[in-house]
Amino acid sequence: MSKTIEITVLPNGQTQVETKGFVGPECRQASEFVEKALGQQTDEVLKAEFHQAVSQQQSVREGG
């Protein structure tokens, strides 16, 4: 899957930023410039990909 940042502007003027194809916290790094440009963040929903990457990293550290 290619990495993309999708920005949606709702009819009420609110914006939503969604990252696709990123693993773990790299999604935050990739979208940081967009979020800063749009203003204060009011909500964050973390997808399964974010949590899976964290779990895999922890497993590697614990195992070796």
Instruction: Kindly write down the DSSP assignment for every residue of 2-22, as one continuous string.
Output: --EEEEEE-TTS-EEEEEES-
Q: What is the pLDDT of residues 12-60, one digit of tens each?
A: 999 999 999 888 888 889 999 998 999 888 888 888 887 765 555 554 5
Query: Which domain does 44 fall in, by range?
Result: 4-63
Structural domains counted in the chain: 1
| 20 residue type, one letter | K
pTM higher than the cut 0.85: no
